[in-house]
Amino acid sequence: MSGQLLVAAIISLGLAVVAGVWWPRVWLGLTLAGAVAALGAAVGVFATGAEWEWKSAILLGGDAVHMRLDGLSALFVVLTAVVGAAGAVYAREYWSDARYPASAPRGRAWWSGLVASMLLVVSVSNGLHFLMAWEAFAICGYFLITLDPKRPAVRAAGWLYLAASHAGTVCLFGFFALLAAKTGGWELGPRRDDAALAPLFWLALAGFGVKAGIFPLHIWLPAAHANAPSHVSAILSGVALKMGVYGIVRFSGWLPVPAAAGWVVTGLGAATALLGIAFALAQSDYKRLLAYCSVENIGIILLGLGGALLARTHGDAAWGRLALAGAMLHVWNHGAFKALLFFGAGSVLHATGTREMSRLGGLWREMPWTAGVFALGAVAVAGLPPLNGFVSEWLIYLGLFDAVAGKQAPAWAAMPAVILLALAGALALATFVKAGSMMFLGAARTKPAALAHECGGWMRGPMLALAGICLALGLAPIVVWPALASAAGAWHPAWAGAKLEAPLATLGWVQLGLAGLIGAAATLLWRKVRTNHLGRGPTWDCGYAAPTARMQYTSGSFAGLAAGWFSWILRPMRTLRRPRGYFPAAAIRLERVPDVMLEQLILPVGVRVMQVSSAVRRLQHGRLSAYILYVVAGLAALGLLVLLESMP
């Protein structure tokens, strides 16, 4: 049953690619139907606990089509279907035919293509077909990022994405080719006992790590997420990055891993989480901020996975299962709240036309719905109870705490990991306090912000749905336990079984109680405000006779202190002109935080390579005599080599 539903979903999405160009309504129907079918397939796998496998006689590229849907794949199928459907509805207003007559049809077709290819990535079980689906997915992503190709920044971001993506794919080609060479076929499947395959893990980590956005491979991510249309940023951040995570989780589960894998993944996860959020804190563009925050969340997922790998290599400790479940739940959670936040960001961008936080302010009056869901997403992403971000991070914490308490070798990785995770969580809170307050609180800093308008129903609906998911996952985490248990079982058979982890059961009640308390307090406050008829004054009135909106904190000043701790890696570029004299005129303080890895490491190296290449290119000038001279020189060098070798 699950299998038929999944195939139906992929066919429906394939038809939607065609329909998207001409019939928007049919496209929406087909995409939603595809998403529902995919969701049904995944739920079927979770409910029955049975793995669906289908090996057909159809040959593609000389190999039989082989599909497989187990607990782990189903987890990612759910994520893809939910965000794919929400984004499709959202795009109807956000990237409408009326506003973008040229690119809207194209956007619809690529959207369905992206969702379909991602479903294929997680369900095919053949290395060759995996690469095909992976490539299709990367290319759909490229065309979605560059939906608005007139802006140079968009084109640059698209190229960077494509280049980084292919650099990762090169590693994957190596990985699958070596795997096929060692196993004698492109078929994928569990081969946990073949120790010779362990070193391939590093290739997979590098290849999938580029897509996942592991620090320092994240270079493509901020530009692509910031410049893509917001519904595309949402699916890129919420789902596309998770395809990289899927790859790492899938192949670390099916194949043996080197002994150091757990340590490396934990270390990478901690570094990614901390540095990702440090960069996010220092951004002044809210979409770039969200992009860096995605890097942080990938780090959290990797921390959980690293814990699970450590546990698996150190005697199957039970805490590994907890950490893995936390990581897998975080995959869902991040997909939900980051898509929500990007939708909210898209709504703000739609209303004001700027991505600069210091040009906004006071939007909650004009855009209460957007402000509300953004605040909810911010609470979730900061990992505060009673929302979903807290649940998954709590599970990872518990796993790592148990590892520390176990007093074995993994404790040495778990202890610093816990500390760094806590630090990252605190910084995430600071980041989203800053983002929320800059955008929605205070007074409008510029005219576009004052003239903002709330988004319409097609954009609000998906946001509310995702907010509902965040709330539901936070309040009733027990409901999703079977899914997490089945994913953990698919990853490591020794951890199979539906036994509910005790902390999760208690956590559900605590979250419910907390939510009840918050709800009661909010109602009480609301009543009090209503009955006392509190008057409203200007937000910024601290003794100034004529305050202006520009006297408010800017995003740079808000984050200045915390960003200062990380100036060793952030390397902000500052322009400063102090006020001088008794009657100072203009003073300027500009700060820009570039992506250090890209602008100070990759780009200079790229420039050097180009210089050397163009110098070498001078050898190719079209003079025949010189070409013959090269041949003679080459021959002479070879002869000399032979002579030298033959000499005693």
Partner 1 sequence: MIDSNLNVLIGLAMGLNLLALGTSRLPALIRAMSVQGVILGVMPLLMEHQLDWRVLLVAVATICGKGLLIPGLLRRAMRTVQIDRELEPLIGFVPSLLLGAAGTIAALALTHLLPLLPEHAGSLLVPGALATVLTGFILLIGRTKAISQVCGYLILENGIYLFGLLLIKAMPLLVEAGVLLDLTVGVFILGIIVDRIQRAFDSLDTRKLTALHE
Q: Which residues bind partner 1 (CB under 8 A)?
A: 620-626, 628-629, 632, 643, 646-647
- Minimum Å gap between C-beta 612 and partner 1 is 20
> Residue 455 half-sphere exposure, CB side, CA atoms within 13 Å?
30
Residue 615: CB minimum distance to partner 1, A: 17
**In the complex, minimum distance from the CB of residue 625 to partner 1, in angstroms, rounded to a whole number:** 5
Question: Which residue, 500 or 642, has its beta carbon nearer to partner 1?
Answer: 642
Helix axes 152-183, 200-212, angle to 10 degrees: 160
Residue 50 amino acid letter:
A
CB-nearer residue toward partner 1: 530 or 618: 618
Report the distance separating Cα 384 and Cα 377, nearest Å: 10
Which C-beta is closer to partner 1: that of 534 or that of 624?
Answer: 624
The minimum distance between CB 631 and partner 1, in angstroms, equals 8
The minimum distance between CB 627 and partner 1, in angstroms, equals: 9
Q: How many CB atoms lie within 10 A of CB 520?
A: 10
For residue 350, the tally of other CB atoms under 10 A from its CB is: 21
Quote the CA–CA distance of 614 and 620 in Å, as a whole number. Answer: 10
Minimum separation from the CB atom of position 159 to partner 1 (A): 24
Nearer to partner 1, 150 or 623 (CB): 623
Asked if residue 351 lies in contact with residue 374, where contact means CB atoms within 8 angstroms, the answer is no
Question: Which CB atom, from 546 or from 631, has the smaller least distance to partner 1?
Answer: 631
When the beta carbons of 407 and 618 are compared against partner 1, the nearer one is 618
- Of the two residues 545 and 643, which places its CB atom closer to partner 1 in the complex? 643
DSSP 241-303: HHHHHHHHHHHHHHS---TTHHHHHHHHHHHHHHHHHHHHHH-SBHHHHHHHHHHHHHHHHHH
Residues 332 and 281: beta-carbon distance below 8 Å: no
Give the residue with the Cβ less far from partner 1, 526 or 630. Answer: 630
Amino acid occupying residue 437: S
CB of 628 to partner 1, least distance (A): 5
Residue where the block lists tokens 């939510």? 515
> Which CB sits closer to partner 1, 543 or 622?
622
> What whole-number distance in Å separates Cα of residue 644 and Cα of residue 385?
74
Residue appearing with tokens 């005790």: 502
Residue type, 96: S
Q: How far is the CB of 640 from partner 1 (least distance, A)?
A: 10
Beta-sheet pairing, 588-592 with 573-577: antiparallel
Query: What are the backbone angles phi and psi of residue 445, rounded to the nearest 5°?
Result: -85, -30
Report the Cα–Cα distance between both ends of the chain, in Å, rounded: 74
Q: From CA 121, how far away is CA 129, in angstroms rounded? A: 8
Give the shortest CB-611-to-partner 1 separation in angstroms.
20
- Determine the Cα–Cα distance for residues 370 and 382; give it in Å rounded to an integer: 18
Distance of alpha carbon 83 from alpha carbon 332, whole angstroms = 10
SS3 379: helix
Q: Which lies closer to partner 1 via its Cβ, residue 607 or residue 637?
A: 637
Q: Which is nearer to partner 1, 541 or 645 (CB)?
A: 645
| CB 201 to partner 1: min, Å | 44
Give residues with Cβ within 8 angstroms of 219, minimum separation 6.
160, 164, 595, 597, 598, 602
Structure tokens at 496: 């199979």
Q: In the complex, what is the shortest distance from the CB of residue 614 to partner 1, in angstroms, rounded to a whole number?
A: 14
Closest CA to 230 of 326, 352, 327: 352
